[in-house]
Chain A
Amino acid sequence: MKRRDIMMQMAGLGVLALASSPSWAADEDIVVGAIYPMSGPNAQVGVDARHAIDTALQIINTPTQVDLPGAAGAGIASLGGRKLRVVYADHQADPQKGRAEAERLITQEKAVAIIGCFHSSVAATVGTTCERYGVPFVCADSSSPSLHRRNLKYFFRPAAHDEMFSEAMFDFMDLQKKQGKKVETVALFFEDTIFGTDSSTVQRKLAAERGYKVAADVKFRANSPSLSAEVQQLKSANADVLLPSCYTTDVILLMNTCAQLGYKPRNIVAQAAGFVEKAALDVVGDKLQGMITRASFALDTAGKRPSIGFVNAAFKARAGRDLNDASSRQFMAAIVLADALQRAGSTDGEKLRAALAATDIPGDKTIMPWSRVKFDASGQNTFASPVLQQYKGTGFVTIFPTAVAMAQPVWPMNG
């Protein structure tokens, strides 16, 4: 036999194997990929993401008494009760590692959808990879607005993006101004990856539109050994509101450096991320009293949505900490995906995509303050209303919008 014939036969066998795989996989678990930072400076986020998604799996795969989509049954009923199984991968905050892991999960683990990725920079490469393979990407907790504006058919984001978050911040500042408080200048302080730069672009635009003077505009290098010079710029500007966008390490370094250089920001209105991480709050929480952050999740509104308390307890039993902004969104991404699988009745990429696009979950069947989950043509849930929360003691209190507020804001936070 010629070498070419052997090659042809092998190729034929490969096609056969591919074609036949769904039939012998029928009674197996449905595999979903989750790509998170499991090592590196944000490893704790990945560890918590795993607990959050595992909590969702527990609710989906076993009959559970909680008012969430897919909770009552065991597994995905329309697919013969097949169970969901998640394969986790580590992107180490590296967009190229994220892309490679997405490819591996789709081609080797046969993942029917991908959840991720915390870092927006990684969500960007994972999103395009999923698009190429025709596999839906449920972007759980990456919030850069540019992500859903790339004309991707398979991209879905149930949570708000930074533009919606930043708009809420400026709405809140407008309200403070209307109530006669001094809010004239803002200082932007943001890290140099897609998260920080996208966030600052929106904030710069909103500040110009609504008449706030940008007193300092500081882009810094993420994970720097020192932020002294950067903080000195903030201190010199001494703006009415500091608007930081940074991850955990930089939050710790920023707040320590502020204290060392004798700078007390009058107000902090943060773009969540590191500012809501337990790791940062454990270490510099005393310096963050009164800090306001945008949030997708409001643990203190559990009285209004009973499912919050149930899910938080289940999560806490695994993770040893409360749900936060990131882990609540990771949980919801898995629930939204399971709901779509149930309606699709298939693991086929296109059918699942169509089901996701047709998603319509009322807000009270989520654990979020959202009014509903319904995607627009670009895959963005436009009903994911964000809230603002203020850090008091060791917890967050919802202060905005007024309709869901649990307390009055303390403003200014530092006299």
Chain B
Amino acid sequence: MNAQAIAQVLASGVLMGLMYALIAVGLSLIFGLMDVVNFAHGEFLMMGMYLTFGLAVGLHLDPIIGMPIVGGVLFMAGVLVYLLIVRHAMRAKANVGMVQIFSTFGLGTLMQGLAQYFLTPDYRQISDSWLANKTVEIGGVFLPQPQIAGAVVSLLAFGGLYLLMSRTDFGRALEATREDQGAVALVGIDRNRVFALGWGLGLAMVGVAGAMLANFYYIHPQVGGAFSGIAYVVVALGGFGSVFGALVGGVIVGLVEAMTTLVLPASLKTVGVYALYLLVVLLRPSGLFGRL
């Protein structure tokens, strides 16, 4: 394989990696805030993609225009999921961890079932968006525009998230709540409100990811499965709860996955990712940027 082909593989890896990071950051955010792993994460990605598709078909809104709307809807979904499900699951007297796992896992299964029933198991794709089928070629390396857009949005979202966390009262409240849930009550921060907004923010991020993904990926009730598996690895690699870790973890997973195919058969491309993950677990169990 020549240098051009290797450059192509690396470029594809980085673009996909930034997408993985954007998909995973919501998961990391929610975990960091309240130690809850959202097992319906992939299904919220699927929901974001279907919403984007609905806006594109029903209202002729390009995914890029639809993105803030999808993010907003998912934000509200996140608040509702916390208030209606997770808040109650966290009150369990015994085995709180298990109750949380089963409640979000059950929610995911329900969402998949509903999507298959109401939206049919047919595959959908947004074929006439602004960026569809457009590609930039630089010295023989092809960069699909929808994926470039996804990568740019991912970087912007991470930038925005950084500002939100470090420069606003809400961000400080979020940070404080994650440091000590009990103590924040003493200074007048409503824990439930912060958690609900945290869930909203986490799912809004995955909604934005879904909108950008729908620009170049097929949409299907089970589409979340392929990505949520990777999202868990990204979060574990970058460090549970670390926003910056999700960004670095996503890019590493994308790159390692792509580079593995240069030395191993393509069917084994996840081997590289999991080997790296095992290495991190052995040497630095909290993940690269985790603070556990």
To the question of whether A and B form a pair in one complex, the answer is yes
Q: Which residues of A contact B (CB under 8 A)?
A: 39-41, 43-44, 47, 192, 218-221, 223-226, 228-230, 232-233, 235-236, 248-249, 252-253, 256, 259-262, 278-280, 282-284
A230 and B266 form a contact (CB under 8 A): yes
Which of B121, B135, B225 neighbours the largest number of chain A CB atoms within 10 Å of its CB? Answer: B121
Contact flag A44-B1 (CB < 8 Å), given A220-B267, A260-B216: no
The interface residues of chain B lying within 8 Å CB-to-CB of A40 are 222
B8 and A252 form a contact (CB under 8 A): no
What's the Cα separation between A279 and B257 when bound, in Å? 28
Which 5 pairs between the two chains have the least Cβ-Cβ distance? A228-B12, A43-B121, A260-B144, A229-B261, A279-B123
A280 to nearest B CB, angstroms?
Answer: 7
A280 and B123 form a contact (CB under 8 A): yes
Closest to A196 in B: B267
B123 and A232 form a contact (CB under 8 A): no
What's the Cα separation between A228 and B13 when bound, in Å? 8
What's the Cα separation between A144 and B221 when bound, in Å? 28
The interface residues of chain B lying within 8 Å CB-to-CB of A253 are 217-218
What 0/1 pattern do residues 142 to 169 of B give for CB contact below 8 A with A?
Answer: 1010010000000000000000000000
What's the Cα separation between A39 and B230 when bound, in Å? 22
Contact flag A219-B220 (CB < 8 Å), given A236-B1, A236-B2: no
B227 interface residue per 8 A CB criterion: yes
B268 to nearest A CB, angstroms?
Answer: 8
What's the Cα separation between A233 and B262 when bound, in Å? 9
A44 and B121 form a contact (CB under 8 A): yes
The interface residues of chain B lying within 8 Å CB-to-CB of A223 are 225-226
A254 to nearest B CB, angstroms?
Answer: 11
A225 and B9 form a contact (CB under 8 A): no
The interface residues of chain B lying within 8 Å CB-to-CB of A226 are 12, 16, 257-258
The interface residues of chain B lying within 8 Å CB-to-CB of A252 are 123, 125, 218
B116 interface residue per 8 A CB criterion: yes
A319 to nearest B CB, angstroms?
Answer: 12
Closest to A259 in B: B133
B221 to nearest A CB, angstroms?
Answer: 8
B12 touches which of A39, A232, A278 (Cβ 8 Å): A232
B220 and A41 form a contact (CB under 8 A): yes
Contact flag A261-B227 (CB < 8 Å), given A225-B16, A229-B258, A232-B8: no
What's the Cα separation between A39 and B144 when bound, in Å? 32
Contact flag A39-B116 (CB < 8 Å), given A229-B269, A230-B261, A232-B8: yes
Q: List 26 A-B contacts (CB under 8 A).
A: A39-B113, A39-B121, A44-B120, A44-B121, A221-B267, A225-B16, A225-B20, A225-B226, A228-B8, A228-B9, A229-B9, A229-B13, A229-B266, A230-B261, A230-B266, A233-B261, A236-B5, A248-B123, A252-B125, A256-B216, A256-B217, A260-B144, A279-B123, A280-B123, A283-B125, A284-B125
Q: Which residues of B contact A (CB under 8 A)?
A: 1-2, 5, 8-9, 12-13, 16, 20, 113, 116, 120-125, 127, 133, 135, 137, 142, 144, 147, 216-218, 220-222, 225-227, 230, 257-258, 261-262, 265-270
What's the Cα separation between A224 and B12 when bound, in Å? 14
A221 and B270 form a contact (CB under 8 A): yes
The interface residues of chain A lying within 8 Å CB-to-CB of B230 are 225
What's the Cα separation between A51 and B40 when bound, in Å? 32
B217 to nearest A CB, angstroms?
Answer: 8
What's the Cα separation between A261 and B9 when bound, in Å? 10
A219 and B123 form a contact (CB under 8 A): no
What's the Cα separation between A17 and B269 when bound, in Å? 54
What's the Cα separation between A279 and B265 when bound, in Å? 29
A262 and B142 form a contact (CB under 8 A): yes
What's the Cα separation between A256 and B113 when bound, in Å? 27
What's the Cα separation between A228 and B127 when bound, in Å? 19
A47 touches which of B2, B9, B121, B137 (Cβ 8 Å): B121
**Known contacts A225-B20, A248-B123; 9 further A-B pairs (Cβ under 8 A):** A39-B116, A41-B220, A44-B121, A219-B267, A226-B12, A230-B261, A236-B2, A261-B8, A283-B127
A140 to nearest B CB, angstroms?
Answer: 20
